[in-house]
């Protein structure tokens, strides 16, 4: 099976914005560079050194308004620009403790008052993905189109917070790729497992307001709540939008 790499995204701060890329260099055993490099721990978090599960962090499943954030990272300076339709943009350095209060003031209105509140920015030395292993989230545009048609609702790619969006596969063919290898550009990824989804995907990423029960839609149409697959980079290499892909 072959097709084209249609889109690449990273999410420098977990749950707080997305950024489109034209190309990126993948490294064996690592997440997509700068993806989930930081995460916003809330005041009820119980953090351990290194990677931590998503329950410790502010995210769209608990604070839907976060889904409307877009981001822009300057890799050279470590500065991040965040934008939201209801707020003025902010530029700050997640690694600079002096910038933390301004960020917390900016993001606080996007978090429900009855939930644990954002408190600190954490790092793990790897992407703080939802998987315990360093992963790249791989999704299919045809699967999205199929679900959209079944729900009668055009669904944005940004609901799913994926890294690589592939064109050219049959709908949900990616679930048959577990244990196989995806070659895209110069890189090779081994497909590890399906991605089980949460209520963040029910949120319109343009407004930050829930507008469609994607979990019910998946369950009704396919009998599960999975969308996309996790891959592990097994051969380093550069990839770019427009590259061909193949599964073997």
Residue 222: helix, strand or coil by DSSP? helix
> What would the mean pLDDT of 187-195 be, rounded to a whole number?
98
d(C-alpha 54, C-alpha 51), whole Å: 10
Give 21-53 pLDDT, tens digit per residue. Answer: 999 999 999 999 999 999 999 999 999 999 999
Max CA distance (Å), the chain: 50
Position 1 scores a pLDDT of: 84
d(C-alpha 204, C-alpha 222), whole Å: 22
In the chain, domain spans: 2-31+130-247, 38-122
d(C-alpha 55, C-alpha 44), whole Å: 9
DSSP states along 90-140? EEE-TT-GGGHHHHHHHHGGGS-TTSPPEEEEE--SS---SSSS--EEEEE
Give 196-246 pLDDT, tens digit per residue. Answer: 999 999 999 999 999 999 999 999 999 999 999 999 999 999 999 999 999
Beta bridge pairs of residue 136: 231
Position 34 scores a pLDDT of: 98
Position 74 scores a pLDDT of: 98
Beta bridge pairs of residue 204: 209
Share the mean pLDDT of the chain.
98
As separate numbers, helices (DSSP H) first and strands (DSSP E) second, the chain gives 3, 18
Position 2 scores a pLDDT of: 93
CATH number, span 2-31+130-247: 2.40.33.20
């Amino acid at each position: 099976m072959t097709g084209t790499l249609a889109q690449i995204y990273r999410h420098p701060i977990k749950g707080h914005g997305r950024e489109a890329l034209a190309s990126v260099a993948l490294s064996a055993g690592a997440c997509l560079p700068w993806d989930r490099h930081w995460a916003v721990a809330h005041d009820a978090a119980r953090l351990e050194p290194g990677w931590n599960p998503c329950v410790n962090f502010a995210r769209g499943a608990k604070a839907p308004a976060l889904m409307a954030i877009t981001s822009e990272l300057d890799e050279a300076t470590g500065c991040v620009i965040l934008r939201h339709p209801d707020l003025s943009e902010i530029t700050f350095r997640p690694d600079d403790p002096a910038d933390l209060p301004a960020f917390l003031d900016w993001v606080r209105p996007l978090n429900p008052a009855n939930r644990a509140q954002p408190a600190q920015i954490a790092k793990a030395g790897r992407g703080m993905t939802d998987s315990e292993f360093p992963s790249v989230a791989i999704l299919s545009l045809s699967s999205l189109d199929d679900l959209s048609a079944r729900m009668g609702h055009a669904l944005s790619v940004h609901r799913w917070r994926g890294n690589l969006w592939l064109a050219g596969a049959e709908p949900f063919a990616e679930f048959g790729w577990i244990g196989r290898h995806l070659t895209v550009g110069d890189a090779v990824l081994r497909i590890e497992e399906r991605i089980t989804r949460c209520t963040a995907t029910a949120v319109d990423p343009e407004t930050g307001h829930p507008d469609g029960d994607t979990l019910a839609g998946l369950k009704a149409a396919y009998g599960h709540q999975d969308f996309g697959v996790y891959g592990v980079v097994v051969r380093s290499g550069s990839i770019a939008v427009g590259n061909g892909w193949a599964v073997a």
